[in-house]
Amino acid sequence: MAPIAFRTAVRDALDEELAADERVIFFGEDVGLAGGVFATTTGLYEKYGAERVFDTPISELALAGAAFGSAVNGLRPVIEIMFGDFLTLAMDMLVNQASKYWFLTQEQISVPLVIRSVVGAGGRFGAIHSQMPASWFMGVPGLKIVAPSTPADAKALLKAAVRDDNPVLFFEHKRLYGLEGEANGEVGRLGEAAVLRDGSDVTLVTAMKGVHDALEAAERLEQDQISVEVIDLRTLRPIDTETVLASVRKTSRLVVVEEGPLTGGWGGEVLARITEQGLGYLDDAWRLATPNTPIPYSPPLEDAFLPGPEQIVSDIRRRLR
């Protein structure tokens, strides 16, 4: 199987789901004729026509409202909010409407909608185009949050998200779009983490771009005879606590690496769950995240802002020795 780019995996997943189910529709800003500002949806408009793939005005709230309305009326919409930072403009429809409708209708009407959005820093996009909005939605019952790190997971988990009967936020890290890897046509399972590297000294849990930083750090730490087990959460809500607990029972140490502010982040939720359920196994647990400041635009400052491989390596060395 020939490797494909992350962005191509996203496009292929949408293509296959549009072909498989005529109820699936896809719309957003510049996703049709232009093929998406990050070239993730090229050719879909030409293949499926303007009734199923179409461009919209620049209104994130209108996008989310149209998705909610079409979902409760029998369609399975996928929309694109160009940058995750702009999800704030659709908060009411997502938090107060779509996520609660199944509950308010006594489990009679589901809301099968997917919101794709580009997230993450490192691309020199500045403070309001580089945020990681996962923590904004972690406390919202009824929402699922997917955060893939590879082309294979991007394709498999997006297909699963489209087929899910609950609202799903699907985050695509902008620094992963050019990453290549194999991706088949399988449908993934939401809520399942993956152990990407076995280790015995410390469990390192992360997601999205952080997975690749963690694997690089683990390779470097192996030269110091420090064995790191790397877990890719893949889904931030729900969190696969059992996979992390199983690893911590073996290593007795846990570090969570999150691209996002230290205060209120999903990394703190992972630590809380593992501490509650695995306290007897833990010798040490901590987290690495970004500072509690806006994301800098300056390239050197942005690089220093992010918890990359160098910081992961130095922090684990310091804590273990």
Q: Mind telling me the catalytic residues?
A: 129
CA pair distance 127, 195, nearest whole angstrom? 32
Task: Classify the C-alpha dihedral 177-182-186-192 as positive or negative.
Answer: negative
The DSSP element (H or E) to which 53 belongs, if any, is strand 53-55
CA–CA distance from 129 to each of 5, 209, 310 (Å)? 22, 16, 25
Sequence-distant (6+) residues with CB within 8 A of 10 are 40, 41, 116, 154, 155, 158, 172
User: Structure tokens of 97?
Assistant: 């409407």
Beta pairing class for 228-232 and 194-197:
antiparallel
Cα angle, residue 311 at apex, residues 305 and 313 outer, rounded to 5°: 165
Instruction: Say whether 168 sits in a helix, a strand or coil.
Output: strand
Note the Cα 307 to chain centre separation in Å: 17
